[in-house]
A and B are shown apart, each in its own frame.
Chain A
Amino acid sequence: MSALSTTLTRPALLTFTMPIVAVLGACFGFVTGNIFGQPWIGFLVGAVIGAALTFVLAQVPQISRWKATWGTSAAFGAAGLVFGGAGGLVGGTVVGLCLGWFAAWIGSGQYRAGVPIYYTAGQTLWHNAFLFIAGLVFFFLVAPLVPVMWLSFNADDFFTFTPEMLAFKAEGYSLKHYRNFFSGGGEPVKGLLFGSVIGAALGAALQLLPDAERSFGKIIVLAIIGALIGVVVGKMWGLAGAEWMTPLKNSLIIAPFATLISVSLGTLAAIGLSQSHVPFRQWIMAIMISPMIVPLIISATGMFFFYAPLGNWLEANLGLSQSFVGYVKVILAHAVLGVPFVIITVTATLVGFDNSLTRAAANMGANPVTTFFRVQMPLILPGVISGGLFAFITSFDEVVVVLFVGSAQQQTLPWQMFTGLREQISPTILAAATILVTISILLLTTVELLRRRSERLRGLSPG
């Protein structure tokens, strides 16, 4: 790339760069002019500004593209501040960023950097237009999440932007929706202390195992994990009736147990399925994948009719409490929904598994259980964990089934969000959404790291 870019020639200023940037400037000018009811005047002014900007940048070819871009952006932002206040500052900065980047990009000839030297003008145009379209799709994918995060800091109880927010005034923002989200609950600090101590103790105990690697880092990692779990458990301890913390607590009770069931049963079954001679393999696979295929509303309805009498029977004949039975019902229902994800990911991992390894282990005298835990499990662990994450997210994100199977005592976080979205709209939903996005970014990072580790272990990719 760098070798190519040195050979890039700057295109003609007057016949190529200036008109093109002027067109973009005119577009921005049209939109800006439209705000004031004068689109065509804005159009002309924008074209002139675009041409002028190109001309100015052409006089200083030695400064880098990024400096040119940010410089233009700063200049436009300042102009916007003078004419339109804080809103103008943002608008000007954005417009300046686009226009400056575009002018520098076109002016330096960088637009040909991605295409072979023999491409015609039309082909180059199409190539860049294609990149632009793909960029728009990426924008479409990610951008909707931005207003949610922004609005979650709203000082008012609305789902819409207030003038204060748009003017970036401090009184327009507050953390009250987050306070509302976290209100109620017990003793996170105590939980933190307990958790970290228990984690560290566990880490130390592991060091004492006969064949453990001695490492101080493990104790610290375990202590940190323990502290995190401790904060959450402490916060949830003795919680009752909090609007958002109780649903979160329910989600955090239901999802891990459901995941545990689907991962343990699913991993075993995936290992069974990947053997060479399995009768009715196709049918068994179809049955196990079916919870993913059957529309959720149908699954939920079927489970509703199944679990209601089952729950009554458990309460009447085994003397279990109503809330305990309620959790069991939802956990079992969610476990089934998570099964297909575990099966798919673990089976995919097992495709690359070399069966001679287990034979080698058996040859050296290991019994099947040892072979499983010491040879097979470490190798398929990334698949198991990412299947488990899928199962976790399925349960954590599930509304329909819990609406039908659970009672008010098992209200989960998505359920609370769903009723909130349908009935009383409170921006606390947006705070919850922001927190969930943050969690999913963390999970995504974990999965990505696991995937890389798995590929490195299997020698599939150098990275």
Chain B
Amino acid sequence: MLAADGTPLKTSLARALRRQKIRALALIAPLLLFVVITFIIPIATMLFRSVENQIVSNTMPEATLALQNWDESSDQTPEEPLFQALYFDLFKAAEAKEHTKLGTRLNYEQTGTSSLFRTTGRKLDDVGEEWQDPIEDIAPALKDGETWFALMSGRGDNTLLEARRSLWNDMVPDAFNGDVGLTLSDEVAGMLPLTAAAYSDWAIFEALEEGRDIAKRDPWEAVYVGLGLDLRNADTVAAIDSYSGPHAQDLKLLTAQLDQLPDLMFRDAFADLDEDWLDPEVWQTIKIYSPDYTSGYFLNAVDMEIGSDGAQMRPDNQQIYIKLFVRTLWMSLVITASCIVLGYPVAWLLANLPLRSANVLMILVLLPFWTSLLVRTSAWKVLLQQQGVINEILVWLGFVDDANRLILMNNATGTVIAMTHILLPFMILPLYSVMKTIPPTYLRAAKSLGATNWTAFWRVYFPQSVPGIGAGSILVFILAIGYYITPEIVGGTSGVFISNRIAYHISSSLNWGLAAALGSILLAVVLLLYWLYDRIVGIDNVKLGG
């Protein structure tokens, strides 16, 4: 069979269908892209924060690496190499003021870590001076930044510098891009590895963060520490003896007087700074949270923690989230139930009155629906507070003693009352649209067959209105479970929801990972309910305000 233009009808139809599909998709595409880019992707990346944990390995890359060799079940303080790596990592972090962020992060898991990092960062310079002073005494030329620049510069391909730059960029929020103005000598870098690494770190920070000329500035203490540590190595000493580059004589001065350099151990230095560094528990926490991805936030969100032997419940006095989730679910259920109880008679009345009077009464339902949420919340604040309208009337009527007014606000009662009022239209409207479709003749038929009023209602009418109850309940429940504004204003402390806790972690405690984990759980519950709603009602059947 051929179409008018001579092609087979089948091909022609398929082409028409394809064209229609493309046209439909072209109409949908702009909005779909808009929603996906500005809504779906941001939420997905936000939720990703709940497992993301790169801060430990980014801030302390070398210590994290050294920590792999430490056995956390041994109850032994780690060895010297780890403390040495910790010194260089923390020194950088303290200069860039990133160590406090790491301290805050680890403080979520073990209290006291935040102050440990802060005090250590403050006093870290003292450790470096143990080396800087004797080195400068022996070789006064090394006091001078220009000497250092001449010493470290030379021929090379800067692989070390770029490697150090990428470590920096993992740590700091704004990447260090641009020319450092230094070509690291490969010969010196091979001879003095720790010095060259520390000098590169300093050069990158000094040139790109502070914007200064590295050829004229004195390097920071960690560079002297690096040199001191390099000099402990016999190979380095031998290499310096045969070295003839710029300022070789200054290095030879140092190798001649090696006994003047301190034999300080970092383990002891850190113990001096803060006793807690010798505590294996601190190291266990750091090691547990050193991988790039963690289940720690999710465990925290359900009141668990990772102990030395796997996940375990937190101590009773620290368990809040399960209680909060249960309260959120329970209060949402109570609100949903009150909405059913209050909404059912109204919806029945609206569905069974003549259209004109029903439309007039419908305005009474829609008026609060259209009124600003904050207006209704402030209305409940006016009504419920201790000096509020309800209490005043009860006191005036003599039912409540002036001294013990009812506490209706800043607790769960306030939240339930206000939110029932706010969400009631969302129950009435779906109920109404379902009840509208139930023919009144069914009830009359049941009664004429001898059913009592109650039987007729319960056996005939009610089962037909169940879809409406289901639709309304899920809608109200979904909305209630994620509410923030109303509980925040009338809920006090005992009437708040999980949303309020999420907002607290986002804006006050800045524990974004935990907020994201709590949010993920909440979102999972809501999506499950949404899926149910779609199965029961169909998302196409949502009606808004008649």
Contact = CB atoms under 8 A, between A and B. Distances in A.
A417 B346 contact: no
B371 A291 contact: no
B367 A265 contact: no
Interface in B15-66: 17, 20-21, 23-28, 30-32, 34-36, 38-47, 49
Q: Which of A126, A137, A422, A443 has the most CB of B within 10 A?
A: A137
B207 to A, nearest CB: 21
A437 B375 contact: yes
Interface stretch (A30-38, A58-66, A169-177): A30-38
Given A147-B389, A160-B388, A444 B370 contact: yes
Interface in A399-431: 399-400, 404, 414, 417-418, 421-422, 429-430
A436 B368 CA distance: 11
Contacts of A214: none
Contact of A126 (B49, B376, B453): B453
Nearest to B390: A147
Contact of B24 (A142, A275, A301): A275
B539 interface: yes
A362 interface: no
A16 B484 CA distance: 52
A320 interface: no
B375 A297 contact: no
A344 interface: yes
B403 interface: no
Contacts of B543: 348
B377 interface: yes
Nearest to B479: A295
B530 A444 contact: no
A138 B24 contact: no
A265 B484 contact: no
B253 interface: no
A397 B345 contact: no
B38 A159 contact: no
Contacts of B348: 134
A397 B374 contact: yes
B368 A160 contact: no
B17 A277 contact: yes
Interface in A48-91: none
A298 interface: yes
A198 interface: no
Given A293-B526, A298-B482, A141 B365 contact: yes
A372 B272 CA distance: 79
Contacts of A299: 39, 43
A98 interface: no
B375 A345 contact: no
Interface residues on A, range: 35 or more
B381 interface: yes
B256 interface: no
Interface stretch (B100-108, B218-226, B355-363): B355-363
A444 B366 contact: yes
Contacts of A332: 38
Interface string B506-546: 11000010011001001100110010001000011011111
Contacts of B238: none
A11 interface: no
A145 interface: yes
Nearest to A444: B370
B182 interface: no
A279 interface: yes
Given A161-B389, A272-B27, A436-B372, A298 B382 contact: no
Interface in A336-351: 336, 339, 341, 344-345, 347-348
B342 interface: yes
A159 B372 contact: no
A141 B507 CA distance: 34
B40 A297 contact: no
Interface string A107-130: 000000000000000010010001
Contacts of B527: 293
A443 B370 contact: yes
A299 B38 CA distance: 10
Interface in B108-153: none
A371 interface: no
Interface residues on B, range: 35 or more
A268 B543 CA distance: 20
B211 interface: no
Interface in A286-321: 286-291, 293-299, 301-307
B481 interface: yes
A273 B31 CA distance: 11
A363 interface: no
A347 B542 CA distance: 10
B465 interface: no
B30 A268 contact: yes
Contact of A463 (B39, B356, B482, B540): B356
Contacts of A286: 534, 539
Nearest to B523: A298
B502 A302 contact: no
Contacts of A447: 370, 545
Contact of A397 (B372, B382, B396, B530): B372
Contacts of B23: 272, 275
A276 interface: yes
A344 B397 contact: no
A251 to B, nearest CB: 10
B520 to A, nearest CB: 9
B489 interface: yes
Contacts of B544: 341, 344-345, 390
Nearest to B34: A265
Contact of B502 (A37, A301, A430): A301
Contacts of B42: 302-303, 305-307
Contact of B375 (A277, A339, A433): A433
B387 interface: yes
B381 A265 contact: no
A144 B349 contact: no
A333 B368 contact: no
A460 to B, nearest CB: 11
27 contacts: A34-B399, A140-B342, A140-B421, A142-B368, A147-B382, A268-B30, A269-B28, A287-B32, A287-B35, A288-B32, A288-B35, A294-B526, A297-B499, A297-B503, A298-B43, A301-B502, A301-B519, A302-B39, A302-B47, A305-B49, A306-B41, A306-B42, A306-B46, A332-B38, A421-B489, A440-B370, A443-B370
Given A140-B421, A147-B379, A265-B30, 9 more contacts: A140-B424, A145-B367, A268-B27, A291-B35, A293-B527, A302-B39, A417-B375, A421-B381, A436-B372
- Closest 3 pairs (CB-CB, A-B): A295-B482, A272-B27, A306-B42
